[in-house]
Chains A and B, each alone.
Chain A
Amino acid sequence: MAGKSGREISAVPEGGIKSKLLSWEGALVLILIGVNILGVAISPNYNVNNVLREMPRYLAEIFMMFGMGYILVLGDIDISVGALVCLAGTVTVLSSNAGAPFIVAVIICLGVGLLGGMLNGFIATRFTELPTMIVTLGTQIIFRGIAEVLFETWGNGGGTASMADTKGLMLLAKKLGPFPIAFFCVIIVGVIMIVVLAKTTFGRKLYAIGSNKTAAYYAGIKVERIRFICYSLLGFLSGLCALFLLTATFGSNTTTGQGFEMEVIAMCVFGGIATTGGKGNLTGAFIAAFIIVCLRIALGQRNINTQVILVIIGLMLIISVLVPSISSAITARKKRA
């Protein structure tokens, strides 16, 4: 039934293939291709096999990125997860060295991650007046502090702990064809995380909370419960990150996981997720993650200093967040002319 005036409102979605290609994700795909061309151009060793071989230690971060994507869409932030990776890895190594079977060590690794995430979620949802940046800064210090106490007490000295029995980890580091197991796991976890965020009622709630928390609450969304779930999920994925990182490092030290949280936030933002909440999606972030990984591998093969690589990634990040303002400025100028 139309209203008194008989006005009709269109309900036909617009878009189609053209708008998809013009979107930021479309641009990211082009950039990914560009980065790979660049890689081949600057480094003779840049080929599929080498890239896949170097990939696992970077892949680990991508697990964490998916969880961070959810947190950012909520309009929250979690800067403790790099330290949580260190803690989870350390506990895993120490418990394995103390005789725990590999499968138990794996459960411990994921469990520590989950518990850490739940702790963040608990504090963030109990004391909603605290900024989450501060909450997770606190837990970051706590997680790393605990890890350091563990090193000193049971580690191999000098702030390290290495895994004595690496059989299990070797198994996880195996390849299926040319692809490492981690690669498949990232794809599976990624697809699930992308679909849940984009297609389910749960995902829609995250966007609602990130866009207007008050209106979401009035609409009957259990805001704090959902935030708690997302923090716990990020913690669990950080545990997964720690596990796959071990398959590349076989041990952990005081700097393990340092800066991961910032790198995954960078991937998300580069992928189009706004830190102010409610915007972007994980498809973009997923592509962006591979752009950054490929770039690092390519530049790394040329023996370019890691600090320089970070500068380049930082620049890319700033440019990418500027793109919307630049393009709207251009259209505004066109309109005026």
Chain B
Amino acid sequence: MAEDLILELKGITKIFPGVKALNKVHFQLRRGEVHALMGENGAGKSTFIKVITGVHAAEEGQMFLEGQEVHFKGPRDAQEAGIAAVYQHPTSYPTLSVTENIFMGHEDVKSGMIQWRNMNAEAQKLLDSLDADFKPTDEVGALTIAQQQMVEIAKALSTNAKIIILDEPTAALTANESEKLYEIVERLRDEGKSIIFISHRFEDMYRLATRVTVFRDSQYIGTYDVDGISNADLIKAMVGREITDMYPKEDIELGDEIFRVEGMTRTGYFKDVSFDVKAGEIIGLTGLVGAGRTETIESICGITRPDSGKVFLEGKELTIKEPVDAMKAGIILLPEDRQKQGLILSWGLGRNVTLPIQGELANNGFNDEKKERELAKQRLEEVDTKAVTIFQPASSLSGGNQQKVVVAKALAQSNMKVVIMDEPTKGIDVGAKKEIYEIMGQLAKKGYGIIMISSEMPEIIGMSDRIFVMCNGKVSGCLQRSEVTQERILELSMEKSDSKKGGAA
């Protein structure tokens, strides 16, 4: 049976200093299919994509596009050949407009003049086709993550690509927004485009893909029909071992109230938010993207100033003016955006982990590098970071491993009483996810209070004792573990007047 392959890669090897990121991997993409690419953090998925798009030159291997061997010297060649990619970490220009971002590199130019009117009209068409709720003239930096994602997709579409590659597009999206993305992908598929879709979320794969290829430890493990492989077998292919009991939530005796927020308000962001956490309790905070979850906890932690509101720790009211005040009190924040807020990408992993506590480890203001190294190594290994040394720059890690460094950094803070985790498992593979859940369980057992913001329904439901749902900047409800269902959360995340529209989406 002759398959209609639009893209085929054979024996691809890519070596970075000290790491073989890809070791003779294969890949076949059929015309008009949605093909999932899965595997552990650091398995080489993103690197593979960058080999396809000519960002990285492979040391070995061949690539065939519609049967013809091709050699791309750079992203431009791939673009011209009809391949477009949305990368894992956004490559947009935040201060430029949506139109400028979409047409960056292939502007519509007539006799040296940029045709703004044409481009804006063209951009509007693309946005309409994606059902986007923003304008071509909007500044990209002011958009939500989901909207920025859409800009990147519009950018990919603007080149009229035949092959579209999406690297973890749903990592930052809630169920509703993911649904919207699914619909876009399905439409593109129906239009005859071929799509490679990377994700750590199984629901993405089940919903969209007909076939799935798995990489592990830089190697090709296999390609399977989604219908023909069980979830357990797929997980085993991905992580090399079996994983049972994904959410190891233990019932532990809850202590007294450890943390309470009262009447937090910041005009235009959130209003009158109150909640409490008991010692040993895991609180889930969810809602749609844009519901004000991140903004609320950023105000709690002193990143931004609320207009009003009180924060109590162990019954005592705190005055938090700056992040350092929250930290000193023992409220530790694991921020949402690992590349901008969580890490110094040019620094080694070790220094990143110990940055918030370098003062505690130091002797009279002098850095104790030895202590720092030991502690960093220990914490990084605890979350199973895939790295060679603690000195390699954070930028050289895969996305999921960068996230693990952010987790390790939060855990290194010894005076922790309450930890607020904003999307802690964003982009993390199944195996490591479970380890982070286990760590959360251990922290709870030790009597810490844990607040987890997450857009991922299964993890919110699987791990939380209580779930606070936010909608349009307000807490719309609180659900006990015993009464929680996906439907109830969704109901609470959508505004009453909006519920018809949202329900149909």
Contact = CB atoms under 8 A, between A and B. Distances in A.
Interface string A1-21: 111110111111110000000
Contacts of B349: 9
A216 B324 contact: no
Contacts of B435: 3-4
Q: How large is the interface on A (under 10, 10 to 19, 20 to 34, 35 or more residues)?
A: 20 to 34
Contacts, number: 107
A222 B324 CA distance: 7
A186 to B, nearest CB: 23
B442 to A, nearest CB: 12
B304 to A, nearest CB: 11
Interface string A210-253: 01101111111110000000000000000000000000000000
A1 B343 contact: no
Interface in B333-379: 333, 335, 340-347, 349-351, 355-356, 358-359, 362, 365-367, 373-374, 376-378
A10 B333 contact: no
A202 interface: yes
Max chain A C-beta neighbours (<10 A), residue from B303, B322, B328: B322
B78 to A, nearest CB: 19
Given A4-B435, A11-B373, A11-B390, A211 B347 contact: yes
Contacts of B381: 1-3, 7-9
Given A200-B366, A218-B333, A9 B387 contact: yes
B176 to A, nearest CB: 28
B391 A13 contact: yes
Given A1-B381, A218-B303, A220-B327, A10 B341 contact: no
Contacts of A217: 303, 323
Interface string B383-401: 1111111110000000000
Nearest to A221: B324
Max chain A C-beta neighbours (<10 A), residue from B344, B380, B391, B409: B344
A214 B141 CA distance: 15
Contact of B343 (A10, A202, A212, A220): A212
Contacts of B388: 9-10
Contacts of A1: 378, 381-382
Given A9-B388, A218-B333, A219-B356, A201 B365 contact: yes
Give chain A's interface secondary structure class.
Answer: loop
Interface in A153-210: 199-202, 204, 207-208
B473 interface: no
A212 B340 contact: yes
Nearest to B384: A3
B8 to A, nearest CB: 25
Given A3-B382, A219-B355, A220-B324, A211 B346 contact: yes
B387 to A, nearest CB: 5
A271 interface: no
Nearest to A212: B344
Contacts of B367: 199-201, 204
Contacts of B169: none
Given A208-B344, A212-B344, A221-B324, A9 B389 contact: yes
Nearest to B380: A9
B431 interface: yes
A4 B349 CA distance: 20
Contacts of A278: 344, 346
A218 B373 contact: no
Contact of B344 (A11, A13, A199, A211): A211
Nearest to A1: B382
Nearest to B59: A335
Contacts of A10: 388-390
Contacts of B373: 11, 13
Nearest to B381: A2
A208 B322 CA distance: 17
B374 A11 contact: yes
A229 to B, nearest CB: 14
Nearest to B361: A201
Given A4-B384, A200-B367, A204-B358, A212 B345 contact: yes
A165 B315 CA distance: 67
Contact of A11 (B335, B362, B389, B409): B389
Contacts of A219: 323, 355-356, 409
A9 B377 contact: yes
Contact of B335 (A14, A207, A218, A222): A218
Contacts of B362: 200-201
A194 to B, nearest CB: 13
Contacts of A2: 381, 384
A200 to B, nearest CB: 5
A207 B322 CA distance: 20
B269 to A, nearest CB: 18
15 contacts: A1-B381, A4-B431, A9-B349, A11-B373, A201-B365, A208-B347, A212-B344, A216-B355, A218-B323, A219-B355, A219-B409, A220-B327, A220-B356, A221-B324, A222-B324
Interface of A: 1-5, 7-14, 199-202, 204, 207-208, 211-212, 214-222, 278
Given A7-B385, A220-B328, 19 more contacts: A1-B381, A3-B383, A9-B381, A9-B385, A11-B389, A14-B389, A199-B366, A199-B367, A200-B367, A201-B366, A207-B347, A208-B347, A211-B346, A215-B340, A216-B355, A218-B335, A220-B323, A222-B322, A278-B344
Q: Which 6 residue pairs are nearest across A and B when measured between Cβ atoms?
A: A3-B384, A220-B324, A11-B377, A10-B389, A220-B327, A11-B373
